[in-house]
Amino acid sequence: VAPTEESILNGSYPLSRSLYFYTNGEPSGLTKEFTDFVLSEKGQSIVSTVGYIPLKK
């Protein structure tokens, strides 16, 4: 299986992994601002630009 966006998102490409954010409770302040930005359309476009696969919509 080739490393395509589709094969990574559907889990058929074996050399990929998910990245997680962990917070101590519900995020607030700068932590919430950062996670909201990363999950925003602009943040996800940056994810793509630097070579990562964005979250499924």
Residue 37: phi and psi, rounded to 5, are -65, -45
Helix (H) or strand (E) holding 46: helix 41-49
Prediction pTM value: 0.70
Query: How many degrees, rounded to 5, is the angle at CA 55 between CA 31 and CA 45?
Result: 80
Q: For the chain, what is the largest distance between any 2 Cα atoms, rounded to a whole number of angstroms?
A: 42
Q: Where exactly are the structural domains of the chain?
A: 5-49
pLDDT in tens, 2-57: 888 888 888 899 887 888 999 999 999 999 999 999 999 999 999 889 988 888 65
